[in-house]
Structure 1
């Protein structure tokens, strides 16, 4: 393996930039994961549980509006609209804080892994009161758990209220439960299916439809409400034991610990090791990764019962991870954040941008590039394949943003001849260096670097 600081910053970090030096070696990448999380403290995003009072207020306002007379309804509508506007601004502020973290961080591998696991455990705020809460879910369930065992991350994400609502688990009741006898709700298999297919064993994993059904019955009791977030409801749980992948769980009084145990067992399954290993290799290295790289990560994962630090170390130590030819296309958020970092814009300045500027400069361009922040089309998250992101409209938007945004974000643009070398190092081709230096203006030269194939891929 030949370590290259520029490759490390581009492939495993949030990009190069004049304000933060690249990592010195692979150990620095790993050490950064356990370093103090200064970015979370500098650019705060509220935890999900901190939003519960606002969610209760929003739900209460919805009910008041529904019960209001025609005379009073306009006033209730106005209050509801004001709450929606406040929620949208909070979401935009969270996006600005996330970009600021990517721009300022000395530990880019951490930010990349947070994004990777947030996508692995995708949620979308389906109910109006939850539409702005996905960043808080990531802050609460994902970010604190990316360096421990995978089972701990799984247990933090799967029963989280955002996941339970997104996959309709909070409405699922066991067919033989007391709740089923008193109402019309029935069993919902969404969460069980996605846990097996997406979160653990993988679509080709060794499970059957019966395993999905049994796991769905075991999951009954997992629920959420505005008053207190997550709670376990024995009255909704299916009585009796359930058998998943040949192992029996429960059988007595319904217990949350039985659900935690099945998640731990699924996390340690060989199919999960293979699934997680391949996803890491695909995300960081190649859409079609070297089989030996996947095998190496999977072996480290299995040998340590899913220790994530051991899995990351296996990824970084394998020669295939350091191929000099960049193969991964930057997704829109990655592209924008890396460009801003390369320009030397200070994170505090990004975090201070108004919601309107964030909307115009980040949200709308990302949508045009094919990525609505925290709103993928399904629970499988964002596609990794290059062709999904390299559409004519997406490329046109990347070019337009590269021409217009840098002078606004960084009025004192760098010399393009220095910028291209500082940003891409040895990756910059002679043709790109010449073209950037020959540009008529600094803005054109900087844009040429940002829209180059060398920058678009990591």
Structure 2
């Protein structure tokens, strides 16, 4: 295996690849410095944006119900189309942020944690909630403790809606007893995903009883579309609940306070350290990381009580970063950002694209590659294994995009021999180095680079 200098290694493995417009991170400190840069957006999407959209939609919908006229139908359609574009606008914004960041590690972590705490919109009205979730629950907590991120993600309206928790009602609650005809019930989705996916892991030592009592503990938690998140005591299941041998809630306790205490305990559980350490290693190092790499991250997690910067440093400095070079496949979003960086495209031009070209050049190609933006298949997020991404269909979509995209942005096209160095530095394989100069045209040479195993693996 070739020896790789840290700057190139870090740019390719921990960020979004090399760029002719900025040098790669010089050392671990430069990589880690990208994390606080990723913690905020200049114009974040927030719950206020969702409430504004919701209220506008309600006004138009009621007007249409009262008078189904052509002007009202047209107004409703404009609102609907505007909301439908929100995920596309978010995609372009995220591509630009990832492409412009010198190290890229912070933006990679945004992507990792947003996928770990997967949410998905159920309809066009709630599209903006997914963006608000990332900007409110994930970004601000990148450099804190895992417990803080867990509490922010679990209690965010996007999570409550996605996992159908907002209607969860304690079977013996005041609310349920007053409305027996409505057959209100307990929903265990959030509780199950909280322990199986977000904290302890599927194989941890908990029972179905733990899941149910956890669901009962959280019944009072909800939100109103036109207001702030609330705790609704009348919906909460009365009495104390037991989770992993500990008691939460009951007479005289604070409902949301007990939920947060429970989340703190789950965040600090040894099984959470083990589950999340392995997940970080799988995402950044290898589909099958060594026990040693996982153990190093787990030790950092436990010794720091889940302090995320400490865990990130252990990852950035681990020798397996080099030993497992190119064992991970770039997911479609990563691949597109890496290509934008390697080609030296203007990120702001990309971000400001109009609807038709952005759909043609980015939104639809990503879908054909298998990763429709903000639309993961299930609550466990996107697949990690290379075989799930480097499939015949997915690779064909990448080749088509690599042939078409550069010519729409660059005139003249760059010399592929120069692009080879810009995109891969000293990590170019002998086979690709020999093949690129023999390409019949600039377009084919560029596509050969962007579709290569060298470029599609990190």
TM-score by structure 1 length? 0.95
Compute the displacement of 1:56 (Å).
2.0
- 1:244 equivalenced with 2:246 (yes/no): no
- How many angstroms does 1:11 deviate by? 0.7
CA distance in 2, matches of 1:265, 1:315: 24
SS in 2 for 1:288: coil
Counterpart residue number, 1:213: 212
Equivalent residue for 2:151, pick from 137, 150, 155: 155
Structure 1: segments with no counterpart, 5+ residues: none
Show the counterpart of 1:80: 76
Residue number among 22, 27, 42 corresponding to 2:24 in the alignment: 22
Return 131-140 or 339-348, whichever deviates more.
131-140
Instruction: Please list, as runs of the form range in 1=range in 2, the aligned pairs for 1:323-342 lying within 5 A after superposition.
Output: 323=323, 325-342=325-342
- Corresponding residue SS for 1:242: strand
Pairwise mapping of residues 109-188 of structure 1 onto structure 2 (< 5 A)? 109-183=105-179, 184=182, 185-188=184-187
Using a 3 Å threshold, how does the CA distance of structure 1 residues 2 and 426 change in structure 2: closer, same or farther?
Answer: closer
Shift of 1:64: 4.0
The CA distance in 2 between the partners of 1:139 and 1:214, in whole Å, is: 31
Q: 2:212 is paired with a residue of what secondary structure?
A: helix
Contact residue 161 and residue 229 of structure 1 kept, 8 A = no
1:1-36 alpha-carbon deviations (Å, 9 max, x no partner): 975211210110011111121000112111222348
- Matched with 2:101 is 105
Q: 1:452 matched to which residue of 2?
A: 452
Give secondary structure in 1 for the equivalent of 2:26.
Answer: coil
Residues 48-98 of structure 1: CA deviation (Å, up to 9, x unaligned): 333311112213433444x335xx254433222111111123332221111
d(CA) in 1 for partners of 2:444, 2:273: 46
Cα pair 2:87 2:374 within 8 Å, conserved: no
Could you give the per-residue CA deviations for residues 100-141 of structure 1, whole angstroms, max 9, x where no partner exists? 111111230000000000000010111431024312211111
Cα deviation, 1:399-448, whole Å, max 9, x if unaligned, reads 00000101112234322112112211222112212221222222211111
Please state how far the C-alpha of 1:268 moved relative to its aligned partner: 0.3
Q: Which moved more, 1:302-311 or 1:25-34?
A: 25-34
Q: Secondary structure at 2:187's aligned position in 1?
A: coil
- C-alpha distance in structure 2 between counterparts of 1:127 and 1:276, whole Å: 31
In 1, the alpha carbon distance for the partners of 2:78 and 2:129 equals 17
Q: Which blocks of at least 5 consecutive residues in structure 2 are unaligned? A: none
2:369 corresponds to which residue? Answer: 369
Query: Residue deviations 1:202-235, cap 9 Å, x none?
Result: 1111111011001000101111221114221111
**1:153-302 superposed matches below 5 A:** 153-183=149-179, 184=182, 185-253=184-252, 254-302=254-302
Question: Which segment drifts farther, 115-124 or 128-137?
Answer: 128-137
Number of matched residues?
452
Match of 1:68 in 2: 66
Offset, 1:283: 0.5
Q: Give the one of 7, 10, 15 matched to 1:8.
A: 10
Query: Which residue of 2 is the match for residue 407 of structure 1?
Result: 407
Conservation of the 8 A alpha-carbon contact between 2:45 and 2:128? no
* Aligned residues: CA RMSD: 1.7
Pick closer, same or farther for the CA change 1:223–1:73 going to 2, 3 Å: farther
Q: Shift of residue 296 of structure 1?
A: 0.7
Report if aligned partners of 1:59, 1:129 keep a CA contact under 8 Å in 2: no
Q: What SS is found at the alignment partner of 1:329?
A: coil
Q: Is this contact kept in 2: 1:45–1:97, CA < 8 A?
A: no
Q: Say which SS state the counterpart of residue 214 (structure 1) adopts.
A: helix
Q: Is the 8 A contact 2:170 2:237 kept in 1?
A: yes
Rate the CA distance shift 1:36–1:378 in 2: closer, same or farther, 3 A: closer
Contact 2:4 2:427 in 1 (8 A): no
